[in-house]
Structure 1
Amino acid sequence: MDVITNSTNMTENNSTNNTNQCPEAEEWEWLHTIQPAYILAISVLGILGNVFVLLVFCLHKKACTVAEIYLSNLAAADLLLVSCLPFWAVNVANGFDWPFGSLLCRLVSLGIKMNAYCSIYFVVLVSMDRYVALVHAMSHGRMRRPSYAKLSCLLVWSFGLLLGTPTLLFRAVEWFQEFQVNACYLNYPSTQVGLTFDVMLTVFGFAIPVSVISYCTCQIMQALNNQAMERFNAEHTERKATMLVLAVLLAFLICWVPFHVVTALDVLMRAEVISGCLLSNNLEISNQVFNYLAFFNSVLNPVLYVIVGKNFRKKVKETFGQLSMRKKMTTGSQQSHLSSTLKTIA
């Protein structure tokens, strides 16, 4: 996921465009104007929302369910992303002159790339959990253990770090005389290497997980609509949890599918399977627009937890109740101690 705007002609995509001598689209000026404010808004809202979600899951007296373990890790992945975005807001506002040095260029880019991989696989895990809970509860219910869920999350984080390693290795800060900027960009050894990693993103970050999500979602919907299976009426909690998961799945697909489709088309263009200046400019603009639509998903998830998640709202009330009770107990203890001290002095 390359959030450096293509108008600076410093990425692999732009090498192709320069070769074809395509004129720059006029929409870039408009995009450059709104990007910093939009990114900062996403960052602030995303940090507040996802920190709130994580605090509720961590401070609640009851242990998290399997689905909540996955959703809390999804919130952590979203928090990682929105914590990295302010650096890019400054970068864009600074005319794409990267002021933070080479190390942060690599680490911030790694954080954004890890979110692209980890978030979709946490969505895969939560969709598989709902699939097992509703479709195979009797035969595979034992698989839904918190210990297994935590191990799965650890594997996803490791997988995201592994697939993000090329970003860590090939990101660099370099002076571009033509633009008078020190740009943080992906400096692949060759176009072929860049194409290989973009194909990996499309396959492992989109095609495979979306196929799994689509299958699980279809099976879940079929199970929910199957009136003959009376146990679903009894398992009201499972149904409520599933409605939240379905909302998260739908929001994720709406926000991320356009970005991955444009990325796939861009790979085809750089491989010279498709071509054309109009298509090239449209893909560059679409890549930026859909990139930031994907980022919006990190803000949308906490909102969905509150609006759709009845169990989550219940957890919020109980958590605030716990904190209020602790505060009262602490205050009462302090007053009792103070009274005892005053009596001793008297």
Structure 2
Amino acid sequence: MPSLENTSGLSLNMSMVEDPFLDIWDMLANVTYNPNYVDTETVKNCRKSNVNNFVSKFNPAFCYVNFLLSYIGNGLVLYIIYKYEKLNTVTNIFLLNLVLSNILFATSLPFWATYYLSEWIFGEVLCKLVSSAYFIGFYSSILFLTLMTFDRYLAVVHAVAAAKSRKRSYAFISSVVVWCISIIASVKELVFQKVWESNGLVCEEAGYSESTMALWRLVTYYQQFLVFFLLPLLMVVYCYVSITIRILSTRMKEKCRAIKLIFIIVFTFFLCWTPYNVVILLRAIQSSSPDVECADSDRLDYALFVTRNVAYLYCCISPVFYTFVGKKFQSHFKRLLAKKIPCLRRHLSLSSQSTRSTSQKTPHSDYEY
């Protein structure tokens, strides 16, 4: 799997299964140089067999679990949009793009699970495309979550002004900008990812000097932390604090429920994303250090594995989380259950009434809590 710190020209004894997420190849013992270039830099030898064995055992399972949850959850949201909604609102346009970004991200996971279990068997074209799709989906998912939060802020806090500016053109232009940023941030994968032989086929960054790859890894670290974590986190916190203040100043019914849901959204976002990005920041600091102990590097490897999978799991299930906190989508889901499972119809008898009430739009009905 493409890593935030892939190596560039070192090969590994294939008795240890490669983990494309972790930049451990350039510190392994018994390394040989990739014939694509000559690198004369000295590499510190750290044996990482324990890390490799741990990752190779558990990462395929995490990939398949994330893949299944993403396709089930995002597929359900996609079906509800198709069945009961139309793409004539800003909310639904953003939500559709969020679902597509998560599906794009999840589609790459079975490829990486297979890679963990054996070697890269899909060829160089798919190596580049799958690596790029993985990061494009990952980055765009974060940005669309942030964009949806900002749009919710506009609809609730600045409802009158937002009613004039929140048009379909605004949604389409914003979505195009998000996809462009995500693609640009992922271009490195198209350029650097290659398939080469190392007692088996690997899909890794190769063909450039270690100094060049180290620089790009450092740029990618800070890009991840600043652009795709710190900025979105600050925006999410600011927007939801503003929404909470606005709700407290109104006579809105179920005020306590709305505030609880806001707290859950912010807390979950912070809980899932902060540990992973703190590890990323520590990786950036570590990569700039001339002398790193192998034990410290191992601890960061384990931390990266655990926190990364928690962050990616949130990335996969976020559309369900963001949609079903709203009464409108809850009502659609009840209608769907009542239709598909007739025995539940009596218990869900209020769903049609809720749906009719939610169909009567207010300036921010898409964000009703």
TM-score range, shorter chain: 0.7 to 0.9
- Structure 1 unaligned residues grouped into runs of 5+: 325-346
Matched letter for residue 118 of structure 1: S
Matched letter for residue 195 of structure 2: V
- Is the Cα–Cα contact under 8 Å of residues 3 and 23 in structure 2 kept in the other structure? no
Greater alpha carbon shift after TM alignment, 212-221 vs 78-87: 212-221
Q: Residues of 2 paired with 1:273 and 1:213: CA distance?
A: 36
Q: Residues of 2 paired with 1:80 and 1:245: CA distance?
A: 27
Q: Residues of 2 paired with 1:160 and 1:112: CA distance?
A: 11
Q: Residues of 2 paired with 1:240 and 1:103: CA distance?
A: 50
1:265-276 to structure 2, matched below 5 A, reads 265-272=282-289, 275-276=292-293
Larger radius of gyration: 1
Deviation at 1:186?
Answer: 2.2
- The answer for the alignment partner of 1:182 in structure 2 is 201
- The answer for the alignment partner of 1:14 in structure 2 is 24
After superposition, the C-alpha distances for 1:96-149 in whole angstroms (9 at most, x for unaligned) are x10111111111111111122111111111111121122222344422223311
Identity across the alignment (%): 26
Deviation at 1:282?
Answer: 0.9
Question: Are residues 1:2 and 2:3 paired?
Answer: yes
Q: What is the DSSP-based 3-state SS (H/G/I as helix, E as strand, rest coil) of the residue aligned with 1:98? A: coil
1:117-156 to structure 2, matched below 5 A, reads 117-156=139-178
Q: Residues of 1 paired with 2:231 and 2:108: CA distance?
A: 26
Question: Are residues 1:69 and 2:69 paired?
Answer: no
- The answer for the alignment partner of 1:30 in structure 2 is 54
Q: Residues of 2 paired with 1:9 and 1:21: CA distance?
A: 17
Query: CA RMSD for the aligned pairs?
Result: 3.3
Q: Residues of 1 paired with 2:115 and 2:101: CA distance?
A: 22
Q: What is the DSSP-based 3-state SS (H/G/I as helix, E as strand, rest coil) of the residue aligned with 1:183? A: strand
Deviation at 1:315?
Answer: 2.3
- Is the Cα–Cα contact under 8 Å of residues 131 and 217 in structure 1 kept in the other structure? yes
- The answer for the alignment partner of 2:311 in structure 1 is 294
- The answer for the alignment partner of 2:250 in structure 1 is 229
Matched letter for residue 312 of structure 1: F
- Structure 2 unaligned residues grouped into runs of 5+: 8-15, 29-42, 342-369
After superposition, the C-alpha distances for 1:10-61 in whole angstroms (9 at most, x for unaligned) are 7883366353333326354233212212211221221122112112112225
- Is the Cα–Cα contact under 8 Å of residues 82 and 298 in structure 1 kept in the other structure? no
- Is the Cα–Cα contact under 8 Å of residues 240 and 309 in structure 1 kept in the other structure? no
Q: Residues of 2 paired with 1:110 and 1:121: CA distance?
A: 16
Give TM-score scaled by structure 2 length: 0.74
Equivalent of residue 268 in structure 2, options 243, 247, 251: 251
Q: What is the DSSP-based 3-state SS (H/G/I as helix, E as strand, rest coil) of the residue aligned with 2:3? A: coil
Question: Are residues 1:195 and 2:210 paired?
Answer: no
Return closer, same or farther for 1:11/1:21 CA change in 2, 3 Å cut-off.
farther
Q: Residues of 2 paired with 1:49 and 1:76: CA distance?
A: 12
Equivalent of residue 79 in structure 1, options 85, 99, 103: 103
Q: Residues of 2 paired with 1:223 and 1:188: CA distance?
A: 55
- Is the Cα–Cα contact under 8 Å of residues 244 and 305 in structure 1 kept in the other structure? no
Greater alpha carbon shift after TM alignment, 290-299 vs 51-60: 290-299
After superposition, the C-alpha distances for 1:304-345 in whole angstroms (9 at most, x for unaligned) are 357533211212345678999xxxxxxxxxxxxxxxxxxxxx
Q: Residues of 1 paired with 2:278 and 2:291: CA distance?
A: 14
- Is the Cα–Cα contact under 8 Å of residues 78 and 96 in structure 2 kept in the other structure? yes
More helix by share: 1
